[in-house]
Each structure stands twice: as C-alpha cells, then as structure tokens.
C-alpha cells in the first residue's frame, strides 16, 4: 500500500563554501519529499507563479506531518538552469513508496535565483551540494528522524545525471574536454551553457580554470552513496575512460531514443560502455530530453514549447510513471541490504 507524499522546503547553507557573489555561505535551498501521515491531503504543486504556473511538480502535501519509521534517502539533482521541483514527479513517487527524496537547487545554476558563470561551469561542485544536503537533511530535527543514513542513493536528470555520476566517483578532466572540442571544431560553451547570458565571463572563467585550477580533477565520491540512477545524463565527454574507471557502485541509466539535447550515443551509451557494470535502458517511441521535466500547463506549453511540448505520440505522464517505477525497483534492489563500507 502506497503512502502519502509530504513536501517541505529547507534553506540550508554550506558554511565551508562562499556564495558565488562572495557574500555569505553557499545557499542550498532543498525540497524534500517524504512519507507523510495517512491523513495528509496531497495537492498539485505548481512550478512558477502560483496564479500562472508553467509546470506542475506532481502531487504532495505541503508541510504535512511525517509518518513514523526509517526510510532510505535518495538525493536528487536537477538539470542545468532547472529546479528541484522539476523532479517532483520522481520525488513524490519515491516518497509514496517509502523513501525520503532530497532535491537540491544548485546555487547559480537554478531557476530560483540569478544565473552565474561559476554555477554553470563548475559542474563538479554540484556533487558537493548533494553531500552537504545529505548532512543537512540528516540533522534536520523532524525530517531527519525519518532518514536511514545507512541506505543512500542518488538520482539526477541531464546535468544532474552528470552530477550523480561525479558523486559515484567519476573524475572530470576539463583540459581533455576542451581539447576534444577544439579538435572537433565544436562549441563547448554552446553545448554546456545555453542559458548563461554572460558568455564573455564564461569564456574568461574557462581559461582561468585551465591555467590555475585543479579542482575539476579531484574525486567528489561520497562513500555513503550506494548507487545512482542517471536520467538522460549530460557531458559524458567531460570524463575520460580513466576518469570513469574509479566508479565501483551500481549505475543505472535511462534515456529517450528521441533525445537530441544529450544524444544517447554520445552520453548515456558512452557512460554505460565506460562504467563497469552500468546498465542502460533506452526508451523508444521518440521520448525526448525535456520529457523528463514536469508536466507543462497550457500556459507553459504556449510560452515554453521547447520545454513543455513532447513529440507526437509521447505521453509525458506515462513516461514519468514508467521511469519512477523503474527507479523504485532499482533502489529497492540496491539498498535493501546495503550498509556502507
């Protein structure tokens, strides 16, 4: 029997890292879905202005009392320029099936606050966001008591898929990535930062990182994370084969066969070939990249057709249901008896 899904928003901070503007600690607004008491009343969660929402984040009961018990925790990472609520269809499904799901809004790279070049380029720091969210949710007095910190997984969409693969132990090589794009006369900035208005700032930051920064070559593996579920993951070319070799936890990848934003052959299938033991499912029927965003309202489909409309014959709600079921089955299998080493 499924439980009710509760939803709360927390305004966490990472005191070990400054915000991108240098004023105060790194903000990490985090949406948490959790099993709620049976009396909770779920309602549609809007994305966008309450009086004119563009998308919906599924159904959940805002600030409902939590249920009793201990549950595995799944960390969620949204796509570039998106928001945690865009994965509400997944978070609410996980909560109904006995999980706590914590979705971080990655600072400088989310739809809730101004974009920054650092937020869009320093992708590897997103993995740290998830580790801090794990600490923060576990310490939260009421929701933290639900969390079984010995059973933790992670799921992400697009750049969030890249993020959870970093969290699993993948190591980025920005120099190799830049060399690949130069050799193939491709536009790195076009492919990884379409939403950023300050393109000169981004170009300057790339050069500065290449000359002075080695943080992208570090491992951001969190040993508490037992497995990852990557949905249409991006930037596979940011990892060399050697950079993916350290991954030793199970990896499941899902992508649509109609994805032209993160083409499967260059991303999902490349990850699957280079990560030992990784499994990949390619959804047929022209399932597109943005099919994995929340369902669009009529206004959202009209104002953001690229994000809100799907190819003919694709039912976004049915795709969400199918992938959410796959994730529940996957995490149930991987976390049933897992204990961190």
Query: How is 164-204 classified by DSSP, letter by letter?
Result: HHHHTT----HHHHHHHHHHTT--HHHHH-TT-S-HHHHHH
CATH number of the domain where residue 190 is located: 3.40.50.1820
What sign does the dihedral 36-42-43-45 (CA atoms) show? positive
Look at residue 195 in the predicted model and tell me its pLDDT. Answer: 57
Once rounded to an integer, what is the mean pLDDT over residues 308-312?
97
Is the model's pLDDT at 190 over the cut of 60? no
Q: Is 114 contained in some domain? A: yes
Does residue 66 or residue 174 have the better pLDDT?
A: 66
Once rounded to an integer, what is the mean pLDDT over residues 8-22?
95
Does residue 212 or residue 68 have the better pLDDT?
A: 68
Q: Is 256 contained in some domain? A: yes
pLDDT band at 179 (very low <50, low <70, confident <90, very high): confident
Is the model's pLDDT at 275 over the cut of 60? yes
Residue 49, Cβ neighbours under 10 Å: how many?
Answer: 9
Look at residue 308 in the predicted model and tell me its pLDDT. Answer: 97
The residue with tokens 């994730």 is 327
Look at residue 203 in the predicted model and tell me its pLDDT. Answer: 65
Q: Is 196 contained in some domain? A: yes
Residue 109, Cβ neighbours under 10 Å: how many?
Answer: 29
Once rounded to an integer, what is the mean pLDDT over residues 296-314?
96
Cα 154 from Cα 324, distance rounded (Å): 13
Does residue 169 or residue 203 have the better pLDDT?
A: 169
Q: Is 340 contained in some domain? A: no
Once rounded to an integer, what is the mean pLDDT over residues 133-148?
96
Q: Is 205 contained in some domain? A: yes
Cα 125 from Cα 116, distance rounded (Å): 13
| Rama region for 158: left / alpha / beta (φ>0; ψ in -120 to 50; rest) | left
Ramachandran angles phi, psi of 77, nearest 5°: -130, 120
Number of compact structural domains in the chain: 1
Structure tokens belonging to residue 198: 């300050």
Look at residue 335 in the predicted model and tell me its pLDDT. Answer: 95
Is the model's pLDDT at 337 over the cut of 90? no
Note down the domain range covering 117: 4-335
């Amino acid at each position: 029997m499924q439980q009710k899904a509760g939803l709360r928003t927390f305004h966490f901070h990472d005191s070990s890292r400054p915000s991108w503007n240098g004023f105060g600690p790194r903000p990490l607004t985090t949406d948490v879905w959790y099993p709620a008491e049976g009396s909770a009343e779920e309602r549609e969660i809007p994305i966008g202005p309450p009086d004119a929402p563009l998308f919906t984040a599924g159904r959940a009961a805002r600030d409902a009392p939590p249920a009793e018990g201990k549950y595995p925790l799944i960390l969620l990472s949204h796509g570039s320029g998106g928001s945690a609520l865009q994965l509400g269809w997944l978070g609410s499904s996980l909560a109904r099936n006995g999980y706590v799901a914590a979705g971080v809004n990655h600072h400088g790279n989310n739809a809730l606050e101004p974009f920054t070049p650092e937020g869009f380029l320093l992708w590897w720091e997103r993995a740290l966001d998830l580790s801090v969210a794990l600490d923060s949710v576990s310490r939260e007095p009421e929701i933290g008591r639900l969390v079984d910190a010995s059973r933790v997984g992670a799921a992400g969409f697009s750049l969030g898929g890249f993020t959870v693969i970093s969290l699993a132990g993948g190591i980025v090589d920005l120099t190799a990535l830049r060399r690949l794009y130069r050799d193939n006369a491709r536009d790195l900035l076009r492919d990884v930062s379409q939403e950023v208005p300050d393109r000169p700032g981004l170009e300057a930051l790339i050069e500065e990182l290449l000359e002075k920064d080695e943080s992208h070559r570090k491992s951001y593996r969190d040993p508490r994370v037992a497995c990852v579920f990557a949905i249409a993951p991006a930037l596979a070319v940011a990892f060399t084969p050697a950079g993916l070799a350290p991954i030793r936890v199970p990896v499941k990848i899902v992508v649509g066969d109609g994805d032209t934003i993160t083409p499967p052959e260059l991303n999902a299938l490349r990850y699957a070939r280079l990560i030992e033991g990784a499994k990949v499912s390619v959804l047929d029927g022209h399932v597109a990249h943005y099919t994995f965003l929340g369902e669009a309202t009529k206004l959202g489909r009209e104002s953001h057709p690229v994000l809100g409309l799907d190819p003919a014959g694709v039912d976004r709600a049915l795709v969400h249901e199918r992938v959410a079921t796959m994730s529940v089955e996957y995490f149930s299998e991987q976390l049933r008896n897992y204990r961190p080493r």
